[in-house]
Amino acid sequence: SHKEQIWISKNLKHRPQKQRPQKVLTVVRQPEPDAARSQGAVFYVLSMEQRPMATQMIAIASAWKEACTSENLSTVVISKGNYMVGSVTFKGPCKSPITLHIEGKLKAPVELERLSSQDGWIVFQDIDGLQVSGGGTFDGQGSAAWAKNDCRKTGKCSSLPINLRFSSVTNSKMQDVTSLNSKLFHINILNCKNLSLQHISINAPANSLNTAGIHIGRSNGVHITDADIKTGDDCVSLGDGSQQISIEKVTCGPGHGISVDTLGRYHDEQPVNGVTVRNCTLKNTMNGVRVKTWPDSPSGVASEMTFEDIIMDNVSNPILIDQKYCPYGECKAKILK
């Protein structure tokens, strides 16, 4: 292998070598593009394991900015290798559909103080026509953070960052990626429409507190297929406003099962309807399929829910409808405004 300067360009089909470009991306080995990457503008981020975290984040942010402002279909390729990155927001709207092709492993800092946001580590926001793929891994490195999670004492579990947050993302798809050892939830989907997750792997040990696999809220048309989820909380959970949700061919375990999650805790919650859970396997889980509502909750609706063709193996509570769900001894707590 050899080393050369790789520069951001609006056309990377042919690498500039002699002329002086405007912006440097990094200094690493350049892989040859394959046929799939040859269409449209392609922006590479190449492995730079020895560089400081800030440098790696600047490279990724610069490539995203160039692709997002391109008038043509664009692809950002994060090549094979390890990348240490702090909080990153891939923000739109973009001028055309965009693909984030991740081949490498993105690793979050172990230390919470090195993350600028406690809300989400990797955030996708206000994007239409996003594709995330490539076989890469988002490693939250959360084992040290789990010991600091004091949910059982305080009932407050929002102080740790979520691995992947999708906020107001539409007409998009994520496939063939792994979320590993998140500090809190692995994937959170909020205010999204027409979003598909396919061939997703989620992995954390059974003792990883509050590491829900996929949580959905106030979203319409979310489809999860062929996912393998091992974690310390619900494999999939649906909050208020989850509508037209399909969960198929999901393998869950260890974990707490598949849940319609803790409805009625807040005023003005949106109804849950059109939920289908089909052809799933749950093994060595605390629960199978579950619907849970907060005690003393206002009136609300969860309707048109279908659970069928589900295999359960060594599941403590295969089917559970709990209308007085009270975690952490908060049964006397009133609903929150």
Coil/strand/helix, residue 45: strand
Three-state secondary structure call for residue 311? strand
Measured distance between the N- and C-terminal CA atoms of the chain, rounded to whole angstroms = 60
Helix (H, G, I), strand (E, B) or coil at 293: strand
Residue 186 appears among annotated catalytic residues: no
* Contact indicator for 309, 271 with CB cutoff of 8 Å: no
Q: Which tokens go with 262?
A: 């803790």
Q: Which amino acid is at 157?
A: C
What is the C-alpha separation between 73 and 116, in angstroms, rounded?
31
3-class DSSP state for residue 32? coil
Neighbours of 136 (CB within 10 A): 22
DSSP-derived 3-state class of residue 145: helix
Q: Which of 139, 228, 256, 261 is catalytic?
A: 256
Annotated active-site residue 233? The verdict is yes
Given the residues 139, 228, 233, 240, select the one marked as catalytic. 233
Give the residue among 222, 220, 211 at the shortest CA–CA distance from 181: 211
C-alpha 3: how far from its chain's center? 33
Rounded to whole angstroms, the Cα distance separating 207 from 147 reads 10
Number of Cβ atoms within 10 Å of the Cβ of 273: 15
Residues involved in catalysis:
233, 256
